[in-house]
Structure 1
Amino acid sequence: MTTETTTNVGANDEFIVPDDPSLADVADVAAALHTDVGRGLGGEEAERRLKRFGPNELAGAPPVPKWRKFLAQFNDPLVYLLLAATAISLVAWFIERANDPAGAEKLPFDCIVIVLILVVNAVLGYAQEARAEQAVAALSRMAAAHATVLRDGVAVSIPTSEVVPGDVVLLAEGDTVAADGRLFSAAALHVAEASLTGESVPVTKNVGVLEAAAALGDRTNMVFNGTSVTQGTGRFVVTATGMRTQVGKIAGMISAQKEEPTPLQKEIAFVSRVLGLAVCAIAVLVLAMLAFVYGFNSTQDIIDSLLLAVSLAVAAVPEGLAAILTVVLALGVQRMARHHAIVKKLSSVETLGSASVICSDKTGTLTRNEMTVQRVVTPSGEVLLTGTGYEPVGDVTDVDGNEIVAGDGDVRFDAAMTVLRIGAVANDGQLNDDGGIVGDPTEVALIVGERKMLRLMAEASAAPEAPSRYTRVAEIPFTSDRKRMTVIAADAMTGGLLTAFAKGAPDVLLAYCDRIVVGGDVRPLTADDRRRILADVERLSDGAYRTLGSAYRPLGVDAVERIDGIRLDDSGALAIDVADQPDAIEHGMIWAGMVGIIDPPRTEVRDAVAEAHSAGVRTVMITGDHPLTAARIAKDLGIIGESGRALTGDELDRLDDREFAAAVRDVSVYARVAPEHKMKIVDALQEQGEIVAMTGDGVNDAPAVKSADIGVAMGITGTEVTKESAKMILTDDNFATIVAAVREGRSIFDNIRKFLRYLLSSNMGEVLTVFGGVLFAGFLGISEPGADSVTVPLLAVQLLWINLLTDAAPAMAMGVDPSIENVMNRRPRRPGDRVIDARMWSDVLVVGLLMAVVTLIGMDLYLPGGLLTDDSAMGATHDEQIVMARTMGFTILVFAQLFNALAARSATQSAFRGLFSNAWLWGAMALSVALQLVVIYVPVLNAAFGTTPLDPHQWLECIGLAAFVLVGSELYKLVLRTFASR
């Protein structure tokens, strides 16, 4: 007895669905779901159900409230210290205000400004993280899985999230099951359910009603969300989506797991920690030096010194590195997506720049994937079909170009029609009325070829056959091991007589034939016939044609009952699944002929292969096609030279491990390979230290794609299983896109190094400025002889302001910097190479030291007793002199960091190369200059930041001294380039 539940479908509809659909007949399930298994749902009804039930997605972790994300920006020990010091300063101000109202400041400017800067910094950090989250979410949407469903009787591909209860979903080998559902059609259907049940062996599915309730693993007439089709085809009615599926119920019991940081993020976090510890040590040292040089004579001295030390630590540690890194990676990956390469994980960008070998399939990736039947070779003669692409328009000619007219009784036309008819019946492809295709382009090419012939027959009034003449009643599906497909179909024009139609690799299919049809007459297949057919295969393959053979076997009706017990049921369908016993059908077949399908190389791929070669990236073709076809295409594209050849799977099997490793090192074209060969090739390349990108589309490619360092799935022809296994998806299935992605990956990695070089060297400049200002205070005139209070070189608020101005916008703009170097003109980066290597640390120290020197020189000019004291510094009080000197040093340090932003765009190339190519960087620099002007010239901010207005000649001094950072960096790069060229 089946228990039932009531579920609302629409606004006014209710239906009753069995709790366990495996115990109910398909017709009852479909009726309960208000759906037609032959047409599926209508578009409007599907939208209504989607609103009712929600997206077909598993619920994630509850979103973190925005206020908590904002407060998390303050979750840093250094910020806590700064806030504590600010609170102490505020208390001291209140005490001073109470004891001496006239002498104390009217407002605690230091406290107010520090808190405001921290709030603004938190707002910027929050905005960066929000942008990163949005970018990552956008990438997730682009990489979303798709399912093929029937909508108004038409097969369409939709995002899995839009599947609703009552949808009719079509399954094929390599698909991921989009929802839970009741099967009503299954042909040799096997589903891997290990992810749900733990069963390691794929489950064979059927459509019969179960006699009793069973465990999930034994519900053979059901399919479940998240499982994958390993073989065969099928159709099912969706009974549950989202969290109502079996996997959804499990997911509801599992807490969300935090995503593991990428290697690059780990290294950045490590650098931040090390830098933080180093700066904290320096801050403590500065505090000790202040105590030693001046002595703390008052509470205010302690507070000022503490604020300086903590502010130095806060300003010197680039807390926003992780957020900037995520934003830069996400924006770069979005640029790649706009160019047809969807990178599923940001971490994959790190590996893209290191790729040294690209293993690519041929069809659709190196070629245009516009499969077109151009030649039909039959025992009665050879004909050519004109027209390209998927529009069923063209003519039939002989090999000399003479037109062959339908209806003239030419046996070559009729024989070609037979070959194409077989290919169109033994077919899982679909050609829509609008020219769109569903399924394998090779299969659709056969349908197009048949449609061309039918159109010519109709135009000649030659009694054309209807495309729907044959009704499929059973199928033995194609697999990569079988290399053939057989369909049993009933012929409406002969009263339902059954015929087995087969298509597949000619050399494979020929082995199952013992007869041949010539001029409409069937006779035994001779040895000479076989040699002639195989010679035709060689000839077509050498011309870069993909060949598919066609054969058939009349079964009648009575004959079927005599084949190993196979019989028809009352509805006219075969009573058992013939896919379980292919030998009963696939023998004694009649050879009809073969087609030559051309898929020309993509014009842009040759240039992409050459570019990859110049970048030290080797291209390897791995295909299931004929070796002559593979070699011809590889030569045309420049993958191999004219003397090169393809190595076959059989030849690979005869090699021992040492010979196999040697072959993989030298051979760049592999043909007629099995899935295990692809995996073995990838493993061998990786053992040789190569970083391998591997393309794939079929389920048989998934293991090699997953094993590769960069698995690349085809977005158009790829199966869902392969897409899930891959790290990158090509939406145009184009090899040139892979090379473009490698180039973009290298550029992104270069940009990461750019802003790291900029941030670290700029922060190093701040640290060395304060450290040098305290250490050499007496020489520079920063401290007044006999002074009884602490005089710091720069105020805490000034350091924090510099950090706010220069760490956010310029660093982010450098993350999207156009490349000023040819990133594809160097060898791939090795995985073990550090992002921040010894060379970068030397750059950081050189630029940081130069920045500190020019800043302290600018301050020294305006301090009495200094080494280079300007006459204009005389006549002012010490307080006025120190304010002017700090303003100069403060401004010089800001401009020095902006000049550093230009210099840091390359470790070796001149900053003047592509100087104005990054409008975002110039905009960020202009914003920083404008804000600095506000701080210098707005009176209320003068009091808050301890600044004073500057005269024009002082501005010239500031800019001139700051420009030495750019000049010094240019000279340093010139020396490096000179030594590198020797």
Structure 2
Amino acid sequence: MTIPPTAPWSETAEAVTSAVGTDPAVGLSPEEAARRLTADGPNELPSKPPTPAWRRFLAQFQDPLVYLLIAAILISAIAWVLEGAHGVPVDSLVILAVITLNAVLGFVQESKAADAVAALSAMTEAQSTVLRGGSRVLVPSRELVVGDVLLLGEGDQVGADARLTQSAALRVIESSLTGEADAVAKTSQAVGADTDLADRTCMVYRGTSVAQGTGRAVVTATGANTEMGAIAQMLDSVEEEPTPLSREITQISKMLGLIVVIIAVVTVATLLLLADDLTSHTVIDALLLGVSLAVAAVPEGLPAILSVVLALGVQRMALHQAVVKKLTSVETLGSASVICSDKTGTLTRSEMTIQEVVTLSGDAVVTGIGYVPEGEVSPDADGDGVPDVEELVGDHLAEVTVVLSGGAMASDAELAADAGVWSVIGDPTEGAFLVAERKLGTNGHREGRFERVGEVPFTSERKLMSVIYTDAHHEGRMTIISKGAPDVLLERCTHVRRGAGEEELDDGVRRHFADAIAAMSGRALRTLGVASRLLTAEESATVSKALAAGGDADFSGLERDLVMAGVVGIIDPPRPEAAAAVAEAHRAGIRVLMITGDHPATAGRIAADLGIAEAGASVLTGRELSTMDDAALSEAVARTSVYARVAPEHKMRIVAALKSQGHTVSMTGDGVNDAPALRRADIGVAMGITGTQVTKEAATMVLADDNFATIVAAVAEGRRIFDNIKKFLRYLLSSNMGEVITVFGGVVLAGVMGLSDHSTSGVVLPLVATQILWINLVTDSGPALAMGVDPSVEDVMGRAPRKPTDRVIDASMWAGVIMIGAVMGLATLATLDIFLPGGLIDVAGMSVDDLTTARTAAFTTLVFAQLFNTVNSRSESVSAFSHLFVNRWLWGAIALGVMLQVAVVEVPLLQTAFSTASLDLTHWAVCLAMGSLVLWFDELRKVVRRARARS
């Protein structure tokens, strides 16, 4: 095991690299890195050990509903013993088998759901660029080891604690560790051993992000030994707040349990009080009835079905580039009423594109968008942004060539194509020059002529950067090329380029460029200027000596007496699908807000182009937000949709104001400083491509493609999943209500139906407990799961978002559940009465059967009623015959349910286990007809409901 210094910030970079056994120019060899990874373990924060499989399996039995079934086993076993213990206790064994099967199903589905979430989380795993054997490689951050050499660039997530060996204008955001929002300037110079964490300027730490510049650092701590690892235990102790769906499901379960207990206790007590002869058999029969009522009322498979449906929905979202980290968050996503979106990369392509070039000879327009180098550079004589028919020629062409080629040379970006897909490696703005230069067709003219030898990095204070090249056309002399804010650059210029030559930069030329800059800014274009100068022989010699001496030489003094080449106008074009997605969100009753750090004019133009706000609509800036109190801010967010130049604390306040108005808020972000706002929002959405790991960990959902349209598609999917949850809840609850009414009504009406004539103790159940378990576990589960993947039969984006106060099961749904349950129960009892002698219903020519056969017919009727109820439950208002055959899984579940019911009725072994008897064609016909009453009743109810809605 490699042991780094205890205080690497107090040691020189050379001492630290020597201590950890690495070469900062080459890095570790792949073999040595693998050996250290095996010895030290993965670079992961400490977490709670996973729960063993056997404990997760036993947890399936830790449910009040399961306790009821265990009570049924004990009561059935006692009854078997009291009756002489003849044969085998079939009822007890069947219930035990059902409980075990239910536990196995729950365990398997829970494991699948966990595996699905783990697989999706792997899609957002942090990666780091390191040197391995002298080559740059991208590795998962979990595979970093002590001694690895990190290569850091702007936007990178720091994967481990590391000691800097090189830095160039490096600034790191450490707010996740220190709470300081401002980026910290970093150098490779050692500091004192007792220096506080926030002041260790030669160290970078896991979980922080690079805001600016580049650097190279050697890893000194991984996993639990990092500063972030030291606070991991505190993070583990924070309890996550349950989602509205999980809270309501818990409430429903408690309510069902309470109702079950009350009904069972009242029924058992009534039977015992009214019994003529209170014997042990009477008590056992009464207790069995109570347990049967409990079993009938409880949808035992609900937790497993809910987990499976949510897991399947999350997997579907992942296929569409939306990675949801928590299953139950899907419901919250579907309830979103406001989407607060960043601009760059989410609403726009994040592909900076040069659209205009202004030089002394006039304007030019660059066509084409994005990184694909397809388009033309044409003159624009009248400055209207529309290219002229003529081609660039003469002085104008020479000047535009210098602007685009100079901007391309003053960059660290690379333009690459992979399988026909073009991308920029590095800064997108610098990539824009490379693309525009290719469109002009002059990129090959400088190859072999220039060699880059030095640079002056960009800083926010200077607002420009420069590079120094040797020029083969001027042997012994070098050229400096500067790129930056046009106003800053013009102050350093004394001449302007005209064609291949140059002339003095007078006030008229300055006004020419100032007017052009103002016009481009008014069109929401970002402006950048390009200037250059051929260094004197003496200056060139000085640069050569400084470079030969090594170290970080400062060449900023050369950024003077420059020759202005021109100004470009750059824009990050909107995504072509974003406008349609915004329109779809508005159709769904969802407000879309743009919150960006960009210029107000740029934000306003993009918002107008996408339909987020009208052209000329007000744009609130971060400075204005800072002057508002909470009341003024609440009023402002109600009417303003575009925010510019905002800071992280402004995002937090906007989210809080929206939530105080009762909105369910979705907030996007990519930087580490966005993490607090994402956590504060109801749905935090992190960018999967540009987002930092800190942001991804704070988010509820991660966009694998950083696309706003994916958010809207995910909201639609969330609404569909929520609708499907309501479908199977409606189905399960109405089905169980039918079972309760059947059992309870059978006991109350036993004398009227002739049931009491078949018992010596006075208690005869219309259905036995094992039959009810069969319905709940087998017949219910398949259709309920199929409803979980049901295509929408309604326009989910054509209605307003669900309010946080709305219940999953509202009064209207409860009314439908009770009515459908009543129809099921009455149809089942009517079937039992038809085939029993001495009942209320006497159908001419209908056979009179024994209790077992009549009970089997009633059992089958209830199964068929529930299968008919599957198509009813797909909507509270749309006819069951609408989109009837779009869900092949549902029809497969119905067919399976029918086959299983035929088997349990006709197969001798199953007849013994479930107390059934064979039925003839008349029985089957009556069962089918009586079961279908549920369908016809609900169709009539929906007709009335639609008529009321129209009126």
TM-score range normalised by the length of the shorter chain: 0.7 to 0.9
- Specify the alignment match of 2:894 in structure 1: 925
- Whole-Å Cα distance in 2 between the matches of residues 294 and 139 of structure 1? 60
What is the aligned counterpart of 1:637 among 602, 610, 620? 610
- Partner residue, 1:11: none
Deviation at 1:106, TM superposition (A): 1.9
How far off is 1:926 after superposition?
2.3
Distance 1:680 1:786 in 2: 71
Q: Residues 791, 463 of structure 1: CA spacing in aligned structure 2 closer, same or farther, 3 A cutoff?
A: closer
Given that residues 61 and 256 in structure 1 are in contact (C-alpha distance below 8 angstroms), is that contact kept between their aligned partners in structure 2? no
- Inter-partner Cα distance in structure 2 for 1:663 and 1:591: 43
Contact 2:318 2:324 in 1 (8 A): yes
What is the aligned partner in structure 1 of residue 272 from structure 2?
Answer: 291
- Equivalent pair of 2:161/2:204 in contact (CA under 8 Å): yes
What is the aligned partner in structure 2 of residue 819 from structure 1?
792
- The aligned residue for residue 184 of structure 1 is 165
The answer to whether the 8 Å contact 1:378/1:412 transfers is yes
Match of 2:496 among 509, 517, 522: 517
Question: Shift of the alpha carbon at 1:822?
Answer: 0.3
Task: Show the counterpart of 2:383.
Answer: none
CA distance in 2 between counterparts of 1:557 and 1:296 reads 121
**Which of 289, 297, 319 is the aligned partner of 1:338?**
319
SS at match of 2:45: coil
- Whether 2:853 is the aligned partner of 1:884: answer yes
Cα contact 1:623–1:630 (8 A) shared by 2 = yes
Alignment match, 1:100: none
CA distance in 2 between counterparts of 1:199 and 1:629 reads 29
State whether structure 2 residue 763 is matched by structure 1 residue 790.
yes
Deviations 1:745-788, CA, capped at 9 Å, x for gaps: 11111112112111211111111211111111111211118833
The alpha-carbon deviation at position 947 of structure 1 amounts to 0.8
Supply the distance in 1 between the matched residues of 2:887 and 2:619 (Cα, whole angstroms). 48
Give the secondary-structure state (helix, strand or coil) at the position aligned to 2:464.
strand
Partner of 2:583: 610
CA-CA distance at 1:529 after TM superposition: 3.9
Q: Indicate whether 1:477 and 2:459 are aligned.
A: yes
Q: Does 1:491 align with 2:491?
A: no
Name the count of aligned residue pairs. 934
Q: How much identity, in percent, do the aligned residues show?
A: 53
Aligned equivalents of 1:232 and 1:772: distance in 2?
A: 77
- 2:918 is the counterpart of 1:949: yes
Q: Is the contact made by 2:264 and 2:290 (CA closer than 8 Å) also made in structure 1?
A: yes
Query: Is 2:879 aligned against 1:910?
Result: yes
1:287-306 deviation digits (Å, cap 9, x = unpaired): 12332454565433333332
Q: Which of 711, 716, 720 in structure 1 is aligned with 2:689?
A: 716
**SS at structure 1 position matched to 2:840:** coil
Q: Distance in 1 between matches of 2:944 and 2:265?
A: 37
Pairwise mapping of residues 593-608 of structure 1 onto structure 2 (< 5 A)?
593-608=566-581
Structure 1 partner of 2:807 = 834
| Cα pair distance change 1:301/1:571, threshold 3 Å | farther
The structure-2 alpha-carbon separation of the partners of 1:416 and 1:31, relative to structure 1 and needing over 3 Å to count, comes to farther
- From 719, 722, 731, give the equivalent of 1:746: 719
1:354 is matched with: 335
Q: Normalization by structure 1: what TM-score?
A: 0.85
Residue in structure 1 matching 2:621, options 645, 649, 652:
649
Once the two structures are TM-superposed, the CA of residue 114 in structure 1 deviates from its matched residue by: 1.3
**Residue 869 to residue 213, structure 1, CA distance change in 2 (3 Å):** same
Q: What is residue 515 of structure 2 aligned with on the other side? A: 535
SS of the residue aligned with 2:790? Answer: coil
> Per-residue deviation at 1:374?
4.2
What's 1:307 paired with?
288
CA drift at 1:704: 4.7
The one-character-per-residue Cα deviations of 1:259-281 (angstroms, maximum 9, x if unpaired) are: 44323112111110111011111
* Counterpart code for 1:375: E
The counterpart of 1:239, out of the listed 187, 207, 220, is: 220
RMSD value, Cα: 3.9
Cα distance in 2 between the residues matched to 1:738 and 1:829: 17
- 1:945 Cα deviation after fit: 1.2
Distance 2:842 2:632 in 1: 77
Match of 2:67 among 73, 77, 80: 80
Query: Match of 1:26, as an amino acid?
Result: A
From the superposition, tell whether residues 259 and 703 of structure 1 become closer, same or farther in structure 2 (CA, over 3 Å): closer
**Residue of structure 1 equivalent to 2:257:** 276
Which of 701, 718, 728 lines up with 2:701 in the alignment? Answer: 728
Contact 1:515–1:589, Cα closer than 8 Å, also in 2: yes
Over residues 298-330 of structure 1, what are the superposed CA-to-partner deviations in whole Å (9 max), with x where a residue is unaligned? 433333332332243134223443343333223
Matches of 1:172 and 1:463, distance apart in 2: 26
The superposition leaves residues 328-370 of structure 1 with CA deviations (integer Å, 9 ceiling, x where unpaired) of 2232122112111222333432332222333334443333344
For residues 576-595 of structure 1, what are the alpha-carbon distances to aligned partners after superposition, in whole Å with 9 as ceiling and x for unaligned?
A: 8x9xxx9x999987654222
Identify unmatched segments of 5+ residues in structure 2: 381-387
* Distance in 2 between residues matched to 1:530 and 1:676, nearest whole Å: 39
User: For residues 718 and 90 of structure 2, what CA distance do their matches in structure 1 show?
Assistant: 46
Show the counterpart of 1:107: 88
CA pair 175-927 structure 1, distance change in 2 beyond 3 A: same
Query: How far 1:722 sits from its partner (Å)?
Result: 3.9
Superposed counterparts of 1:193-232, under 5 Å: 193=174, 195-196=176-177, 203-210=184-191, 212=193, 216-229=197-210, 232=213
Counterpart position of 1:161: 142
Give the aligned partner of residue 384 of structure 2. Answer: none
Q: 1:766 is aligned with what amino acid?
A: E
Q: Please state if 1:765 is matched with 2:738.
A: yes
* Structure 1 stretch displaced more, 431-440 or 108-117: 431-440
Q: Does 1:456 align with 2:442?
A: yes
Equivalent residue, structure 2, for 1:860: 833
Q: Deviations over 1:177-218 (max 9, x none)?
A: 211212123344444556556778765432123454656555
- Return the alpha-carbon distance in structure 2 between the equivalents of residues 866 and 840 of structure 1: 34
Conserved? CA contact 1:26–1:183, under 8 Å: yes
Output the amino acid matched with 1:416.
V
Matched to 2:575, the amino acid is R
Q: State how far apart, in whole Å, the 1-side matches of 2:588 and 2:839 are.
A: 54
| Structure 1 residues 561 and 324: CA distance shift in structure 2, 3 A | farther
Contact conserved, 1:55 with 1:242, CA < 8 A, in 2?
yes
When residues 622 and 266 of structure 1 are mapped into structure 2, their CA distance, relative to the original with a 3 A threshold, is closer
Structure 1 unaligned segments of length 5 or more: list them.
Answer: 1-5, 8-15, 98-103
The 1:369/1:249 distance shift into structure 2, 3 A limit, reads closer
Query: Where does residue 549 of structure 1 map in the other structure?
Result: 529
| Displacement after TM superposition at 1:740 (Å) | 0.9
Matches within 5 A, 1:3-82: 6-7=1-2, 17-27=4-14, 29-30=16-17, 37-38=24-25, 40=27, 53-82=40-69
Give a deviation string over 1:97-134, Cα, whole Å, max 9, x none.
4xxxxxx6422111111111111111111122112212
Q: 1:206 to 1:864 in 2, by over 3 A?
A: same
Q: Given residue 911 of structure 1, which amino acid in structure 2 is its aligned partner?
A: A
Query: Does structure 2 retain, via aligned residues, the 8 Å contact 1:864–1:874?
Result: no
1:152 to partner: Cα distance: 6.9
Distance 2:660 2:240 in 1: 28
Task: Label 1:306 to 1:646 Cα distance change in 2 as closer, same or farther (>3 A).
Answer: same
* Aligned equivalents of 2:321, 2:109: Cα separation in 1: 25
* Letter aligned with residue 761 of structure 1: S
Seen in structure 2, the aligned counterparts of structure 1 residues 900 and 780 have a Cα distance that, compared at 3 Å, is: same
Instruction: State the Cα distance separating 1:955 from its structure 2 match.
Output: 0.9
1:935–1:289: structure 2 CA closer, same or farther, 3 Å change rule? farther
Q: Using a 3 Å threshold, how does the CA distance of structure 1 residues 815 and 653 change in structure 2: closer, same or farther?
A: closer
